[in-house]
Amino acid sequence: MALSDHPAERHRQVAGLFTERVRGAQAWDAASPVAGWAARDVVRHLIEWFPGFLASGAGIELPSGPSVDEDPVAAWQVHCDGVQSVLDDPETTHRELTNPHIGRLPLKTAIDRFYTADVFMHTWDLSRATGQDDRLDRDFCARLLGEMEQMEQALRSSGQFGDRVEVPAGADAQTRLLGLIGRDPFWPGAEPSDLAAH
C-alpha cells in the first residue's frame, strides 16, 4: 500500500505498521541493530525525544503513559495516539513549530519530516530485533534516500547517525537507505532462542 502524502494519514500508516511490530514483539530485551539498544530501547527513543521537540517548538504537551520498562506496548499506544490526535486536530493546520536548528515550519510538516520519518526507519530496527517482517515501503525508502543523500554531511555532523555502511552495487532503496543511516542491512537479527518471552 502506497503511503499518503498527507502528514496525518502518512503518520497513521507508518505508526500503524510500527504498532503491529510492537504488538508482535515477544522479547523486549533482545538486541537491536542499533549498538547498545535492546528492542524496548527502539520504542523508548521515539517516546522520549519527540515530546520535548513538540513542547519546546509548538507548546504542545503529549499525554504520557506507563514507562517503556513497565509496559512497552501500552507506553507506545498512548504516545502514538497522542501524536495522531495532534495531526488530526483541524487547528494543527494553522500552527507552526519553531526550532533553533530547523527554523520555523508548519507543525504538520515538521512532524512528518522529523518524527514520522524516524518512526518509519526505526520500524526496521524493531522488526529485525524481534524477528518480524522488516520490509519497508519501497517508494518512501527511495524518497527518503534521495532527500538524505543530498544532506549527508549535515546528517553526519549532527551525531544522530552512525558511519555509512557500504552496500552492494545495485542494492535496492531500502538496503541503501539503511546503509546511509549507519545500519548494517545484513545484521543477522534475533535467533529463535532469543525470542522466547522474557
What value does the mean pLDDT of the chain take? 92
C-beta separation of 179 from 9 below 8 A: no
Interval 133-165: pLDDT, tens: 999 999 999 999 999 988 877 776 666 777 889
**What pLDDT is stored for residue 174 in this prediction?**
98
- Mean of pLDDT values over 37-49: 97
- Mean of pLDDT values over 17-45: 97
Question: For residues 75-102, b (16+ Cβ closer than 10 Å) or e, as one string?
Answer: bbbbbbebbeebbeeeebeeeebeeeee
Confidence of residue 190 (pLDDT cuts 50, 70, 90): low
**What pLDDT is stored for residue 198 in this prediction?**
43
**What pLDDT is stored for residue 156 in this prediction?**
64
**What pLDDT is stored for residue 194 in this prediction?**
52
**What pLDDT is stored for residue 66 in this prediction?**
97
Interval 173-182: pLDDT, tens: 999 999 999 9
Confidence of residue 195 (pLDDT cuts 50, 70, 90): low
Fold entry, domain 1-135: Four Helix Bundle (Hemerythrin (Met), subunit A) (1.20.120)
Using the predicted structure, report yes or no on whether residue 15 has a pLDDT greater than 50. yes
Interval 73-110: pLDDT, tens: 999 999 999 999 999 999 888 999 999 888 899 999 99
Using the predicted structure, report yes or no on whether residue 37 has a pLDDT greater than 90. yes
C-beta separation of 171 from 186 below 8 A: no
Q: Where in the chain is the domain with CATH 1.20.120?
A: 1-135
**What pLDDT is stored for residue 192 in this prediction?**
52
**What pLDDT is stored for residue 126 in this prediction?**
98
Interval 164-173: pLDDT, tens: 899 999 999 9
